[in-house]
Structure 1
Amino acid sequence: MTDLAATPETSADAPSLALRRGLMLILCLGLALAVTSLMVRILEVNGWSWAEVGALICFILTLPWTVLGFWNASIGFCLVHIAGRLGVDPVAAVNPRLVPKDDARPITTRTAITMTIRHEDPAQVIARLRLMRADLEASGWGRHFHFYLLSDSARPEAAAAEEAAFAAWKATDAHPEELIYRRREQNTGFKAGNVRDFLTRFGCPYDFFLPLDADSLMGARSILRLVRSLQAFPQVGLLQTLVVGMPSGSFFARAFQFGMRQGMRTYTMGSAWWQGDCGPFWGHNALIRLAPFRDHCELPVLPGTPPLGGLILSHDQVEAALLRRAGFEVRVVPEEGESWEENPPALPDFVKRDLRWCQGNMQYFQLLGLPGLKAPSRIQIGLAILMYVGAPAWMGFLVFGLAQAFLPAGPAPYPADLGLTLFAVIMTLSLSPKLLGVLDLLIQRRERQRYGGTLRLVGGALIELVLMTLLAPVIALIETRFMLGLLFGKAVGWDAQQRQGYRVRWGQAAHGLWLPTLFGGLYGLGLWIGAPGALPWAAPLLTAYLLSIPLCVLTASPRFGALCHRWGILAIPEEIDASAPVHTLPGAIGPR
């Protein structure tokens, strides 16, 4: 293990970060107050009813992420296209602890690449590790990396398959001692417990470790750049890559990852501008300085019983905050660079993952007062909570709005001009991350070509926008029901995710989505009785709820997904680039 004098220091951009964070706070509060004042002017026209007070409170709770998303995307867009034209490298400006892409300094450290699994397909898992292993070998630095497959599988047949597949890999490798398989009998602490067990039992020989999920893949160029950066800057404890989706034959996954890909660069660039050394950790595809993480990032056990007490389910952001509390910087690489994951192939799988994150984030209420945290880290924990609080707040806003229709009307007419203005403002704020992300690509010829041209890029963006507009209200209602269940002890488990596309049957979709369908019918009936003039405005919302079941079935259809792949609909760059390494994986859909 190399001595890197890994001692925390003051960030090089600390004075600048203080100004940026102050400006970001002013921008966000100013915009939120302006939008809130506009809503107050609308609601106070005929005095205040209990429904209007409730609607205002719910409206305010939905604003933090809307306002933050607007400013993150706007600042990121300006950094990429204005600072870039002035000769300033935006990536270096927001992350000065990153070596250039062409840096070729020697690798002098040892890194453990760890993949945590539980009841996964071992063929798929080991294929990813083998591809990464071969890429690192080709770079000439393969001896500096050991690979660990960390299993938490409890089913005997799954464990036997893993052991057999791993043994077959070792038998063909020139250095089998660098490949280690370990299985725990108990899934104590979930994924974080799995990693903690590795750190305490196997971590001593290594300077860094790179945690991967079972669906992760990274290229050698990205890994080596991270290693060289941590070698060059011992005060950095964690470097998080920008993770993008792999090509998929599922229409749902194609739409989700296409939309995420558009706005991710500008959004992450803007967030990195103010987060700086208190950046995010997404739990995988990040390089971590092992000793500080092991010594300072053990998760606390929360008071009370599950689901809101006990072991922490969403570990990553807490670990980032603890590492920063120990004096080590946590930073993100705000640009694409050979770092991939898979996305859920259907709405039921997306919901299952989303609710697990929701449960974990709701545990953060008990961590807001954790002593010693940096202010940005504490803000990020609060934002993680508000990410899901926004769903019931939005649903509450709808319910209070409907209730107002059945209360006595006041003498003054509804201020339609203010209502239209507020609608336009909210739509602009909400859509700005997507719109600026697409504009970011449209004004760059090379990026347009990577997506198959302007027509495919714009067409895909419109399809994704319509689909996610229809799915967002459905997901918000499901999250709201789940969060109410948390108060009564309802919880989700942690098991293998469905990664391959499949056909969702009508009965399965109806079982999971009867509530949104029922809610849409009752809400539409309520508007027809109490405020029929609002029905045209509510049509998109009602359509989302009433079509949730057929939409779930359609977007998961393998035949529909294959058709979209054949026609290049919602294609991402790796799908168009025949040389992308993801095409060599088993079951890859291949270039179009």
Structure 2
Amino acid sequence: MNETDAVGKIMFARWAAFAVLFAVTMAGSLVLAALALSPGGLGFADIVALVLFAFTLPWMVAGFCNALIGFVIMRCSADPVAAVLPAVGLIRDDDPVTASTAILLCVRNELPERTIRNLEPMLEGLSASGYGERFHLYILSDTNDAELAVGEEALFSGLIATWRDRIAISYRRRTENSGFKAGNIRDFCERWGSRHEFAVTLDADSFMPADAIIRLVRIMQVDPKLGILQGLIVGLPSTSLFARIFQFGMRLGMRSYTIGSAWWQGDCGPYWGHNAILRLKPFIEHCQLPLLTDNDGKERHILSHDQIEAALMRAAGYHVRVVPREDLGWEDNPPTLLEFMRRDLRWCQGNMQYWRLVTLPNLTPVSRYQLVLAILMFIGSPAWVGLLGLATAALVLCDDPANIMRGDFGSALIAWVLLMWFSPKIAGALDVLLAPKERRAFGGAGRFTVNFAIETVYSIVLCPILWISHTIFLFGRLFNRDIHWMGQVRDDHVVPFGLAMRDLWPQTLVGWLSLALVMFSQPWALPSVLLLAGGPAFAAPFAVVTAWPVLGSIAARIGIGRLPEETATPEDLLELALPAITPEGRPPLTNSV
């Protein structure tokens, strides 16, 4: 048996193991739900509830399976990264960089000062590495705000002049912005792509240190079958309370989820559109995105381009893999709930386009699975809202609560759903608590445990708010409602209560209507209903309070949502002078156990 056949058999066994685990977990969850709803037999409402519950399951079950696999690898492997990406063991820190690499920074209506702040430490590192002549930075602008465009051109021209003799930099602004970000990069490919072997993709809020870029280039050099190599992305230390808690939770969940999925997906991994490296020749030849056509015959460009490009790259015979290391790149997270929702709905609109692409020819089964799962991530939201409405109606109309749900199986079902929901973060938290060095990096076991509890409550509040937002938007999509691509507000700012109510009144109405009906009919059920209705009911004050700059500054000082970068700040991040990091780069610690 040759090496290719052996690898193929191993990967088939891993796919089969994941498929069995996924199927058993799905089936077991549905059986548990059916048992919980069994008093008096399964009526029409119970069947509807089971169907809705089935639509909520795939994303949670995938998270649970990936987290379980990832946790085992993290705890049992001496090098979890090498366990899922063997190519990292083939490179050394002194391997020469021979490939020509373009660095693509895509911007649209962004403050250029902030972008330059993130670029200069990277440029300094590349220049100091001795490989500066191997890299060329392309600033690819789609800015259509005339005032911003004037300032952008002036500042980026100054950047070009400053680095002229050390790193090549080109600035180009499109006046016709077809194809969104994917169109922007396609324009680069047609103009300059043939000059380079690789391209590193950055978003306007991305920060990648030079060492991380060089490491990705070295891995691509040793494996000619790699088409896309994605780095793990974590949040930059922030003084926004909303962002701090969000990225603390993402930090816990991303590693176990990514390692677990990388183990069984193998060479059919994810691409998130930035903080990644592409092999340009196959990308140019095989990853041109198709145009879609609406019901009215109008052509539409694909908004969520990344996963489609990954699927097309894999279909062409090249590998797509992820490096699950947390020092390869950072990004800014939205500082407020309202900014987060705008970004989230753009993703929702983009993912819904995948319906038309799942049947593209030559895609691998894993690629089709990824596209379907990306759709179900948002389709599950109306199902959750439907379950809230159905549960509220059942409680209001029932004569005997015992006829709605069995107490024993009902409690077990709620506990099981919460376990699946939070399993990637639980796996990450256990991994941190079991490693003394990791515990200290997060500020000690006591502070870490408190932050985990805060993040859990935060997620229980946030997720139902987003579910209602997705549901309203998906209904609007039936009437061709679109989200337009706009620049994001990335700095901390106050959210007035009136603005919060204007944007969040549907969530507020749904939440309080459900709570009021249950309170006056079956008050004993209020704690359970709060899991789904509590967040929406308090959506507006949640948006206001988590946006208060003074509260975010206090949280940064006392360590709420503390990240390892705030305990021992990498030198690259120190150069960014982030407000969340003290000048010494080490906020005061009161618990380092």
- TM-score using structure 1 length: 0.94
Residues 1:491 and 2:485 aligned together: no
Matching residue's letter, 2:547: A
- Aligned match of 1:62: 56
Distance in 2 of aligned mates of 1:27 and 1:245: 31
CA contact (8 A) 2:132 2:166 kept: no
Shift of 1:456: 1.9
Distance in 1 of aligned mates of 2:580 and 2:80: 34
Residues 1:17 and 2:11 aligned together: yes
Label 1:185 to 1:586 Cα distance change in 2 as closer, same or farther (>3 A): farther
Residues 1:222 and 2:188 aligned together: no
Residues 1:545 and 2:536 aligned together: yes
Residues 1:117 and 2:111 aligned together: no
CA contact (8 A) 1:308 1:486 kept: no
Shift of 1:328: 0.2
CA contact (8 A) 2:91 2:218 kept: no
Matching of residues 378-457 of structure 1 within 5 Å: 378-405=368-395, 413=403, 414-457=405-448
Shift of 1:571: 1.4
- Aligned match of 2:590: none
Shift of 1:514: 0.9
- Aligned match of 1:554: 545
CA contact (8 A) 1:308 1:359 kept: no
Residues 1:212 and 2:211 aligned together: no
Deviations 1:100-142 (A, max 9, x none): 5743211111000010001111111122222111011111111
Distance in 2 of aligned mates of 1:249 and 1:427: 29
Shift of 1:530: 4.4
Label 1:419 to 1:306 Cα distance change in 2 as closer, same or farther (>3 A): farther
Within the candidate set 377, 393, 396, 2:367 is matched to 377
Label 1:309 to 1:48 Cα distance change in 2 as closer, same or farther (>3 A): farther
SS at match of 1:14: helix
- Aligned match of 1:461: 452
CA contact (8 A) 1:235 1:328 kept: yes
Ranges in structure 1 where 5+ consecutive residues have no aligned partner: 1-8
Matching residue's letter, 2:469: I
Within the candidate set 19, 22, 27, 2:21 is matched to 27
Shift of 1:376: 0.2
Label 1:567 to 1:183 Cα distance change in 2 as closer, same or farther (>3 A): same
Shift of 1:50: 2.8
Label 1:91 to 1:586 Cα distance change in 2 as closer, same or farther (>3 A): closer
Matching residue's letter, 1:64: P
- Aligned match of 1:40: 34
Bigger Cα displacement from structure 2, 195-204 vs 35-44: 35-44
Shift of 1:176: 6.6
Within the candidate set 506, 520, 523, 2:497 is matched to 506
Within the candidate set 300, 307, 316, 2:306 is matched to 316
Bigger Cα displacement from structure 2, 519-528 vs 184-193: 519-528
Label 1:96 to 1:38 Cα distance change in 2 as closer, same or farther (>3 A): same
SS at match of 2:31: helix
SS at match of 2:321: strand
Shift of 1:532: 3.5
Bigger Cα displacement from structure 2, 580-589 vs 553-562: 580-589
Distance in 2 of aligned mates of 1:395 and 1:354: 17
Distance in 2 of aligned mates of 1:530 and 1:307: 50
Shift of 1:400: 1.9
Shift of 1:389: 0.7
Deviations 1:19-49 (A, max 9, x none): 1011100001011101101211232432333
Label 1:37 to 1:425 Cα distance change in 2 as closer, same or farther (>3 A): same
CA contact (8 A) 1:116 1:151 kept: yes
Matching residue's letter, 1:259: G
Within the candidate set 554, 562, 568, 1:563 is matched to 554
SS at match of 2:274: coil
Matching of residues 221-260 of structure 1 within 5 Å: 221-260=211-250
SS at match of 2:363: coil
Distance in 1 of aligned mates of 2:342 and 2:393: 31
Distance in 1 of aligned mates of 2:560 and 2:519: 38
SS at match of 2:161: helix
CA contact (8 A) 2:91 2:219 kept: no
Deviations 1:181-234 (A, max 9, x none): 001001110000000000111111100000100010111221111111111100
SS at match of 1:287: strand
Label 1:56 to 1:108 Cα distance change in 2 as closer, same or farther (>3 A): same
Deviations 1:269-312 (A, max 9, x none): 10101111000000000010001001100111112259996211
Label 1:571 to 1:528 Cα distance change in 2 as closer, same or farther (>3 A): closer
Matching of residues 82-121 of structure 1 within 5 Å: 82-84=76-78, 89-99=79-89, 102-121=92-111
- Aligned match of 1:285: 275
Shift of 1:433: 1.2
Distance in 1 of aligned mates of 2:564 and 2:167: 36
Label 1:104 to 1:248 Cα distance change in 2 as closer, same or farther (>3 A): same
Distance in 1 of aligned mates of 2:555 and 2:265: 38
Matching of residues 267-346 of structure 1 within 5 Å: 267-304=257-294, 310-346=300-336
CA contact (8 A) 2:388 2:532 kept: no
Ranges in structure 2 where 5+ consecutive residues have no aligned partner: 588-593
Bigger Cα displacement from structure 2, 356-365 vs 519-528: 519-528
- TM-score using structure 2 length: 0.94
CA contact (8 A) 1:124 1:585 kept: no
Matching residue's letter, 1:45: P
CA contact (8 A) 2:106 2:139 kept: yes
Label 1:338 to 1:371 Cα distance change in 2 as closer, same or farther (>3 A): closer
CA contact (8 A) 1:147 1:178 kept: yes
**% identical equivalent positions:** 44
SS at match of 1:237: strand
- Aligned match of 1:198: 188
- Aligned match of 1:3: none
SS at match of 1:240: strand
Residues 1:183 and 2:173 aligned together: yes
Label 1:325 to 1:526 Cα distance change in 2 as closer, same or farther (>3 A): same
Matching of residues 131-150 of structure 1 within 5 Å: 131-150=121-140
